[in-house]
Structure 1
Amino acid sequence: MQVALVTVGDELLAGDTANTNATWLAGELADSGVTVARVLVVPDEMAAITENVRAYSDTYDAVIVTGGLGGTPDDITMAAVAAAFDRELAVDELARADVEETLDAIAGDYPDIDVDVTAEATIPAGARPLLNRGGLSPGCVVENVYVLPGIPGEMKTMFADVADEFDGDTTARYLYTDRPEANLIDPLTDAQSQFDVRVGCYPDRDAGHNRLKVSGEDPAEVDAATEWLLVEAGASDDPDDVERVRAGEE
């Protein structure tokens, strides 16, 4: 399964807010064997959201969109996603009931809150609503596009409700070596030519080692490539081994 992530927000592009949603979602999806094929940040602009959601929906198995839900003028994600599928916006009664229930629950803490319930409960016509158990604004699923809030806590809670809809066959193993990255070019190239895997090298200056990631859809190939690299790249599957060798303990 291949998934694209579209994170919406001028604040992300300006560097005012770290894009932790994309990082967290990528990790969750990878743990489920899903390949995250694209991560895109777009501004709070109708055309940018609509065009990219439409294109990614056609290209990948699923698209997850985060951000731009709510009642402020820059919250245009629902309208943009609706436009991507040539759908009108419509009030979803299940979403409306959930918004009203949430407002009743917080009325004592926020007695002066002024929320347009109809606007909050409006999603693309025919979409499946995703109730916001961590906040107010609902998300939705339109065809293969999942629309989630941008607030990290709300996004994580809502994703938990649909997480079992994301499943893939990619498996990965991690190795560690203190060999310089330049000395790893040949063994890593050879591993990718001999086995049906992808191999990435990620230097960790603070830890004093390089982390190797071996991934693929055939667990046997991943295991074979891993065993090969343990020898040819002088690697270990335990980062502590690298520290012990460097300290002269082995």
Structure 2
Amino acid sequence: MQAALLTVGDELLAGDTENTNATWLATQLTERGVSVARILTVPDDEAAIVEAVQRYSDAFDAVIVTGGLGRTPDDVTMDAVAAAFDRELAVDDLALADVERTLEAIAGEYPDLDVDAAEEATLPEGSRPLINHAGLSPGCVLENVYVFPGIPAEMKRMFEEVDGEFSGDVESRFVYTDEPEAKLLSRLDEVRDRFDVRVGCYPDQEAGHNRLKLTASDVDALEEAEAWLSSNVELAD
């Protein structure tokens, strides 16, 4: 399974907000054997979101979009996802019932809150609503595109509702060495070519060693590559 991550927000591109959602989602997907093929950040611009959703939906098994939900002027993600699939927007009954329950529950805490529940519960026609158990704005699934809120706590909670829909056969093994990266190049090339695995070298300055990452969907080849590399580099203590 190959997936793409699309994070939406002017604040991400300006550096006003750290893009922790992309890192968290990539980790979750990788742990489930999914290959994360693309991570892209786009502004709160409907045309840019439409183009990215269409391109990634055609190219990959799943697309996760985060950010730009709600009904403020810069929240255009739902409109863009609907447009990407040539769908109209409509009030979803399940989402509406949940939004109304949430508004009722917080009415005492926020007596002056003015929210149009129907507008908040408007989703692309034919999409599957995803209830926001940690907030207000619902998400949805349309074709192979999953739309989550941008608020990290809400995004994580919503991902938990569908995490079983993401799985793959990609696995990784790690080898740690004290040798400098420049000395490892020929052996990294050899293990990649000999066993048909992907190889990465990631310096860890605090630990004082290099972390070598081997990745493949063939477990036998992966284990053989790990054994070969472990025997051909100076292992870290």
* TM-score > 0.5 by shorter chain: yes
Question: 1:180 Cα deviation (Å)?
Answer: 0.5
Deviation sequence 1:130-158 (CA, Å, 0-9, x none): 00000000000000000000000000000
Deviation sequence 1:89-129 (CA, Å, 0-9, x none): 01000000000001111111111111011110001011000
Question: 1:234 Cα deviation (Å)?
Answer: 2.1
Deviates more, 1:46-55 or 1:104-113: 104-113
> In the alignment, which residue of structure 2 is the partner of 1:68?
68
> In the alignment, which residue of structure 1 is the partner of 2:186?
186
> In the alignment, which residue of structure 1 is the partner of 2:135?
135
Deviation sequence 1:203-235 (CA, Å, 0-9, x none): 111211000111100111110000000011223
> In the alignment, which residue of structure 2 is the partner of 1:205?
205
> In the alignment, which residue of structure 2 is the partner of 1:91?
91
SS class of match (2:229)? helix
Partner AA of 1:154 in structure 2: E
Structure-2 separation of matches of 1:199 and 1:227: 14
Partner AA of 1:99 in structure 2: V
Question: 1:56 Cα deviation (Å)?
Answer: 0.3
Structure-1 separation of matches of 2:142 and 2:73: 22
Structure-2 separation of matches of 1:175 and 1:21: 28
Structure 1 stretches lacking a partner, 5+ long: 236-241, 245-250
Structure 2 stretches lacking a partner, 5+ long: none
Partner AA of 1:211 in structure 2: R
> In the alignment, which residue of structure 1 is the partner of 2:11?
11
Structure 1 runs of 4+ off > 4 angstroms?
none
SS class of match (1:51)? helix
Structure-1 separation of matches of 2:224 and 2:108: 61
Query: What pairs up with 1:122-201 in 2 under 5 angstroms?
Result: 122-201=122-201
Relative to the length of structure 1, the TM-score reads 0.94
Partner AA of 1:174 in structure 2: F
Partner AA of 1:51 in structure 2: E
Structure-2 separation of matches of 1:18 and 1:233: 37
Question: 1:79 Cα deviation (Å)?
Answer: 0.1
Structure-2 separation of matches of 1:184 and 1:208: 15
RMSD: 0.6
Structure-2 separation of matches of 1:86 and 1:138: 20
Deviates more, 1:101-110 or 1:56-65: 101-110
Deviation sequence 1:42-71 (CA, Å, 0-9, x none): 000010000010010000000000000011
* % identical equivalent positions: 65
Partner AA of 2:153 in structure 1: G
SS class of match (2:213)? strand
Structure-2 separation of matches of 1:174 and 1:39: 23
